[in-house]
Amino acid sequence: MKRTVQPEMLDALPPDDPRAVRSRRDLRRVNAWMRNHAILIRALQTAAGDGLPRHLTELGAGDGQFLLRVARELAPRWPGVSVTLLDQRETIADSTLAEFAELGWHAQPLVRDVRQWIEFDTPPVDIIMANLFLHHFAERDLARLLLEISKRCHFFAAVEPRRAAWPLFCSRLLWLIGCNKVTCYDAPISVHAGFARDELSALWPATAGWDLMETNAGGFSHLFVARRKR
């Protein structure tokens, strides 16, 4: 299946559009079905080992609920983490930030397109992560983004749609679990734009000093991990 990147409906809707609000709620259920939280939690724990990360940035953070669910699992072992929630839309509720604070994490939204973010000389952080985000970019823009990510962190992890027949088939059945028209329209587009084999590894900058891992994860997801060699 050839990779194709097309615009998704959710990205074109105003954040407060009822269809967009409903679709973001749908995505929480889709993430749960894909088990992306568990996949990223395992990847992050493996990366950190016995260390304690101090700063984590999520790209395409959306409403912050995905990382909040991850944080609930990691906070007992990773106290006091500072979190930057980067997204081009302002969709993070104050209540979500308060829930991070209750876990002992300090979360700060950053409303900015990632293309603007990479133009700033931001200091490196321990971890950068992304969930269902990289597939929005065609290869040229994605290679540039991965280059800038490699300059800004010690560990990067991304969970993306797996581009294969089974995930595509299932993406066309999301109406069965009550997803709205926006989610049902976007899901097959996401799978067609997803990844297989070592496609992300091939786009990572060809410089020494990184260990890369790329694999299928669960029934629907594709995991990419880059870890700076110690």
Bridge partners, residue 225, by sequence: 157, 213
Structural domains of the chain ordered from first start: 9-228 (3.40.50.150)
Measured in residues, the chain has a length of 230
Q: What distance in Å separates the CA atoms of residue 180 and residue 200, rounded to the nearest whole number?
A: 30
* Two tokens, residue 64: 């912050």
Q: What distance in Å separates the CA atoms of residue 110 and residue 91, rounded to the nearest whole number?
A: 11
CA dihedral of residues 28, 34, 36, 39 (deg, nearest 10):
160
The position carrying tokens 């194709």 is: 4
Taking 70 as the pLDDT cut, the residues of the chain under it are: 121
Q: What pLDDT score does 189 carry?
A: 98
Q: Can you give the pTM of this predicted structure?
A: 0.93
Considering only CA atoms, which of 152, 161, 125 is closest in space to residue 48? 125
Q: What pLDDT score does 118 carry?
A: 81
75 contacts 105 by C-beta, under 8 angstroms: yes
